[in-house]
């Protein structure tokens, strides 16, 4: 087997993370604090049925409550239940990128601080990632899997076995990571996939973020697309009196940007997840050649959209 490579990104990733890294929950908390006075939040409930009518939409919640709204925005992630209710099953929109991953936390026994470490062999990647300098790090085990393992999606023990079988290596941090993954109580397993839809709205329902156009973490752009999408959708709703026109305008403004960003994940052969010996060698050579982070974002795609000013 081709020898595996450990790429230590301490300096580069550390510099980037020290400036920008926040845990996902921190961002959620910041957004929540920003709107909690003006938005009504209903926790521990979800939409059970939608009844789209000519002049309103009636929502029945799982709790049994019923309410009538002008519109419904589904921002409920890659496996969006709102999308399923309105557009049908996920399969036609699910674009599998040929890999799966498992994420979990584990003790920071290497003392990582605002840095990440990557181990790669072609088609497989292990990562340890410290957003701060606390006692826990985030572990990620990703591996090529051309077909979707439908049989394990609802069986966590089968997920653990599948991931462990993909990482039999007795090297680097792999045995320890696999042992931790097997015992983790916060294991998160999924396919590395995108959502690609011909339309993001139907009737009085529109989708935003991963629910409509998940780009996968191979692009590093999911959060940006979700936030930019929410901004554009809100802006178009504020500047149109008719929701259908606003939904059309949202799609018109955003779709080219989404497509460019989704195309960054070119079937698993990206810098984050090289699938062949050659692409891995190229990726490592490119990393070694970097002596500092580029001053500007490395990819023009990231800033390909000039945000409209809706004021
Ligand atoms: C391992 C990993 C690493 C990533 N790394 C990056 C990165 O470095 N940079 C980046 O930009 N993106 C990254 N992403 C992608 C990023 O997390 C997503 O693109 C982003 O979170 C999408 O935001 P969202 O609000 O659309 O969906 P989500 O963040 O998935 O939020 C959806 C919300 O809907 C809730 N929900 C689901 N179902 C229901 C229901 N029935 N009723 C009520 N609520 C419901 C969920 O609980 C969740 O809170 C990564 C993703 C993964 C998995």
CA distance 141 to 184: 13
What is the full per-residue pLDDT of the chain (311 aa) written as tens digits? 323 333 333 323 333 333 344 578 889 999 999 999 999 999 999 999 999 999 999 999 999 999 999 999 999 999 999 999 999 999 999 999 999 999 999 999 999 999 999 999 999 999 999 988 889 999 999 999 999 988 899 999 999 999 999 999 999 999 999 999 999 999 999 999 999 999 999 999 999 999 999 999 888 899 999 999 999 999 999 999 999 999 999 999 999 999 999 998 874 456 667 888 898 888 888 878 877 666 665 678 888 899 999 98
Q: What pLDDT was estimated at residue 9?
A: 33
Pocket lining for ligand 1, CB < 6 angstroms: 46, 75-77, 81, 103, 140, 209-211, 214, 217, 220-224, 226
CA-CA distance, 306 to 303, in Å (whole number)?
A: 7
Ligand 1 centroid to 282 CA: how many Å?
A: 31
Instruction: Say how many Å lie between the CA of residue 77 and the centre of ligand 1.
Output: 5
What is this structure's pTM?
0.88
Q: Which two tokens stand for residue 278?
A: 């050659």
**CA-CA distance, 158 to 163, in Å (whole number)?**
9
Topology classification of domain 5-24+96-193 = D-Amino Acid Oxidase; Chain A, domain 2 (3.30.9)
CA max distance for the chain: 63
Nearest CA to ligand 1 atom 43: 46
CA of 72 to the centre of ligand 1 (A): 18
Q: Rounded to an integer, what distance in angstroms lies between the CA atom of residue 84 and that of residue 48? A: 11
Atom number in ligand 1 closest to CA 220 = 9
């Amino acid at each position: 087997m081709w020898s595996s490579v450990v790429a230590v990104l301490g300096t580069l990733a550390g510099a980037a993370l020290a400036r920008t890294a926040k845990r996902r929950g921190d961002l959620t908390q910041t957004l929540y604090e920003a709107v909690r006075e003006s938005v009504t939040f209903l926790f521990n409930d979800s939409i059970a049925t939608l009844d789209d009518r000519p002049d309103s939409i009636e929502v029945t919640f799982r709790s049994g409550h019923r309410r009538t709204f002008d519109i419904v925005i589904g921002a409920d992630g890659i496996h969006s239940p709102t999308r399923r209710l309105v557009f049908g099953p996920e399969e036609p929109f699910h674009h599998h990128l040929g890999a799966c991953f498992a994420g979990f936390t584990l003790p920071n026994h290497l003392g990582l601080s605002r840095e990440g470490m990557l181990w790669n062999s072609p088609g497989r990647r292990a990562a340890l990632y410290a957003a701060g300098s606390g006692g826990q790090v985030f572990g990620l085990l990703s591996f090529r899997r051309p077909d979707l393992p439908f049989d394990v999606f609802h069986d966590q023990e089968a997920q653990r076995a599948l991931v462990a079988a993909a990482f039999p290596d007795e090297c680097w941090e792999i045995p320890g990571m696999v042992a931790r993954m097997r015992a983790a109580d916060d294991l998160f397993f999924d396919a590395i996939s995108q959502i690609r839809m011909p339309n993001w709205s139907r009737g009085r329902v529109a989708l935003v973020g991963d629910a409509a156009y998940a780009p996968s973490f191979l692009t590093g752009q999911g959060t940006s697309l979700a936030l930019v999408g929410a901004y554009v959708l809100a802006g178009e709703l504020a500047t149109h009196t008719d929701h259908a026109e606003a939904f059309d305008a949202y799609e018109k403004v955003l779709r080219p940007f989404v497509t460019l960003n989704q195309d960054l994940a070119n079937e698993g052969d990206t810098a984050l997840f090289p699938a062949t010996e050659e692409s891995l060698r190229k990726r490592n050579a490119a990393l070694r050649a970097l002596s500092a982070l580029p001053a500007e974002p490395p990819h023009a795609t990231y800033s390909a959209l000039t945000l409209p000013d809706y004021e």
